[in-house]
């Protein structure tokens, strides 16, 4: 297995997982289920750690791909900048998860403000993760690029190859 393959395999987990945990935490909060809330807290901590590994696999995957003719450095930079923002979001979720676990140790309930902060941060992080995944997908799937992006990357030519006016 190459770094590229590992990166592609792992990066789906936090994208879909963040949305899943957002919904699960919402259910746990509405039902006032401490067990579900704490499960989500632990999972957010796990995602925080996993996001670091995914970021490293992306860096190693880029090193593996240097020199291939189809690699667009501008698109890679956009993907990497977006990944940095998304990783920061997942890291914030992990920190909030640790704080929530600490404050709810023993038999204490999970603080409502922790749930609210995590719900907001999870939704924002999902958007960042989805954008990052989209930008990563565009590297090898030109059919999902926007027309503006295609024009830029084809030297002013549209998808048909003719100049656009």
pLDDT value of residue 153:
52
Mean pLDDT over residues 86-113, rounded? Answer: 96
Backbone dihedral region for residue 156 (phi beyond 0: left; psi -120 to 50: alpha; all else: beta): left
Mean pLDDT over residues 65-88, rounded? Answer: 87
* Locus of tokens 């914030």: 92
Whether residue 158 is predicted with pLDDT greater than 70 in this model: the reply is: no
- Bridge partners of residue 163, in order along the sequence: 157
Query: What are the domain boundaries of the chain?
Result: 3-143
Whether residue 146 is predicted with pLDDT greater than 90 in this model: the reply is: no
What distance in Å separates the CA atoms of residue 75 and residue 136, rounded to the nearest whole number? 8
Mean pLDDT over residues 114-118, rounded? Answer: 98
């Amino acid at each position: 297995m190459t770094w590229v393959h590992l990166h592609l395999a792992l990066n789906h987990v936090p994208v879909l997982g963040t949305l899943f945990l957002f919904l699960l935490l919402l259910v746990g909060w509405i039902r006032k289920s401490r067990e579900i809330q704490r499960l989500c807290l632990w999972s957010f901590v796990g995602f925080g750690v996993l996001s670091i590994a995914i970021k490293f696999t992306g860096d190693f995957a880029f090193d593996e791909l240097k020199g291939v003719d189809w690699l667009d450095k501008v698109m890679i930079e956009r993907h990497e900048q977006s990944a940095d923002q998304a990783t920061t979001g997942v890291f914030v979720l992990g920190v909030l998860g640790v704080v929530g676990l600490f404050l709810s140790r023993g038999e204490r309930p999970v603080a409502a403000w922790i749930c609210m902060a995590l719900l907001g941060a999870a939704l924002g992080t999902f958007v960042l993760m989805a954008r990052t995944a989209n930008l990563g997908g565009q590297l090898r799937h030109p059919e999902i690029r926007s027309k503006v992006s295609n024009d830029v990357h084809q030297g002013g030519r549209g998808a048909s190859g003719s100049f656009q006016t």
